[in-house]
Amino acid sequence: MTPPPAGAPHRLPRHVAIVMDGNGRWARKRLRPRTFGHHAGQKAVRNAIEFCLRRGIAALTLFAFSSENWQRPEDEVGALMELFLKALDREVDELHGHGVRIRFVGELAAFAPALASRMRAAMDKTAANTKLMLNIAVNYGGRWDIAQAAARLARAAQAGEIAPDQIDERSLAPYLCLADQPPVDLFIRTGGEQRVSNFLLWQIAYAEIYFSATLWPDFDAAAFEQALADYAGRERRFGKTSAQIAAGNG
Ligand code: IPE
Ligand code: IPE
Ligand code: MG
């Protein structure tokens, strides 16, 4: 195997974030209710986690439920909550066995107590694991994330820990979700839509973006592999010139 050229960026992303979209359309194509698509999507979640473990990807962040998804019909929201609850009961031990650290990111207080407490239990149980950082974004919004970080930084300023005119990107960054993890290298959205839908905003400032037409329940290892191949072919310049990157000043 030829080694990557000197100064080449990481060819394997350390952190992949995925907007798992297209469950509803997958079900409609089969003349089934939308919730059938959400059920089918769970297998794709398992595949993606297994794939990251196998390929040695350090962090995987999955968008499972946005702060806007509460606006869906009540029965669909109810079915999704039921699905999350069952998935937690079913999957946590196995993920723990594989060394996966589970973290839920988002405003967890909005969930029913039974669900919120299971989420906390899963995080506590797997907190010391190091094989894969699995972040599940639920009731998450990129704008919410920035606002909650600003609120916490304001409290630090009020406590005299930082002066308001010292505030810059570096002082805000630690308060954002996922601050303790590698930067998001690769942002994937399945289902064909080409938008961010209020998922990670700050964190994807320099992520490579990959849109796949594949509907989420069909997103398998081969599809993930294709996204990685596309990523490996990108030149990440971070504002520099191609010549600088080639010269190893990247
Ligand atoms: C994504 O699939 C899953 C969630 C938002 C929970 P959708 O349910 O948005 O599926 P489409 O986009 O309607 O096909
Ligand atoms: C984004 O998908 C949210 C998740 C995948 C959890 P949506 O289906 O809600 O996004 P929009 O509404 O089409 O932008
Ligand atoms: Mg959708």
pTM of the model: 0.95
Q: State pLDDT tens for residues 198-230.
A: 999 999 999 999 999 999 999 999 999 999 999
In the predicted structure, residue 4 carries a pLDDT above the cut 80: no
In the predicted structure, residue 7 carries a pLDDT above the cut 60: no
47 classed as catalytic: no
248 compared with 103, residue with greater pLDDT: 103
Domain ranges of the chain: 15-233
Closest ligand to C-alpha of residue 218 is 1
Residue 216, pLDDT score: 99
Tell me which amino acid residue 162 is: I
Ligand 2 contact, 63 CB (< 6 A): yes
Q: Which of the 8 DSSP states describes residue 73?
A: -
Ligand 2 contact, 195 CB (< 6 A): yes
Using CB distances shorter than 6 Å, the residues near ligand 1 are 20-25, 65, 69, 80, 191
In the predicted structure, residue 195 carries a pLDDT above the cut 60: yes
* 49, 124 Cβ separation under 8 angstroms: no
In the predicted structure, residue 137 carries a pLDDT above the cut 90: yes
Counting atoms of ligand 1 from 1, which one is nearest the CA of 28? 14
Supply the residue whose CA is at minimum distance from atom 12 of ligand 2.
197
Q: Tell me phi and psi for residue 98, to 5 degrees.
A: -90, 5
Ligand 2 contact, 20 CB (< 6 A): yes
The alpha carbon of 108 and the centre of ligand 1 are apart by a number of angstroms equal to 20
State the average pLDDT over residues 116-145: 98
21 classed as catalytic: yes
State the average pLDDT over residues 226-236: 97
Residue 134, pLDDT score: 98
Residue 248, pLDDT score: 87
State the average pLDDT over residues 50-61: 98
Closest ligand to C-alpha of residue 198 is 2
Residue 1, pLDDT score: 43
Please count the other Cβ atoms lying within 10 Å of the Cβ belonging to residue 19.
24
* 174, 152 Cβ separation under 8 angstroms: no
* Pocket mutation for ligand 1, best pick of 19, 25, 189, 199 (most atoms within 8 Å of C-beta): 25
- Give 9's pLDDT tier (boundaries 50, 70, 90): very low
Residue 10, pLDDT score: 55
Residue 5, pLDDT score: 46
3-state helix/strand/coil string of 152-193: HHHHHHHCCCCCHHHCCHHHHHHHCCCCCCCCCCEEEECCCC
Counting atoms of ligand 2 from 1, which one is nearest the CA of 65? 6
Closest ligand to C-alpha of residue 22 is 1
- CA 3-7-11 angle, to 5 degrees, is 55
CATH hierarchy code of domain 15-233? 3.40.1180.10
DSSP helix/strand/coil, 147: helix
Ligand 2 contact, 102 CB (< 6 A): no
Q: State pLDDT tens for residues 58-111.
A: 999 999 999 999 999 999 999 999 999 999 999 999 999 999 999 999 999 999
